[in-house]
Amino acid sequence: MGTANSPSFHEDALSASVRSVLRAVAPLASRQGFYLAGGTAIALHIGHRRSQDLGWFRRGYLESAQATEFHRVDARRLRFRSCETKPTCVG
Indicate whether 61 belongs to any domain.
yes
Assigned domain for 90 exists: no
Residue 85 in domain: no
For the whole model, what pTM was predicted? 0.65
Q: Is residue 2 part of a domain?
A: no
The stretches of 1-91 forming alpha helices (DSSP H) are 16-31, 39-46, 64-72, 75-78
Answer yes or no: is 83 within a domain: no
- pLDDT single digits (tens) 12-27: 999 888 898 888 888 8
Q: How far apart are CA 52 and CA 16, in angstroms?
A: 10
pLDDT computed for residue 14 by the predictor: 92
Q: How many domains does the chain have?
A: 1
Q: How far apart are CA 52 and CA 7, in angstroms?
A: 21
Instruction: Let me know if residue 57 belongs to a domain.
Output: yes
Domain containing residue 15: 11-78
Q: Is 5 within the bounds of a domain?
A: no
pLDDT recorded at residue 21: 84
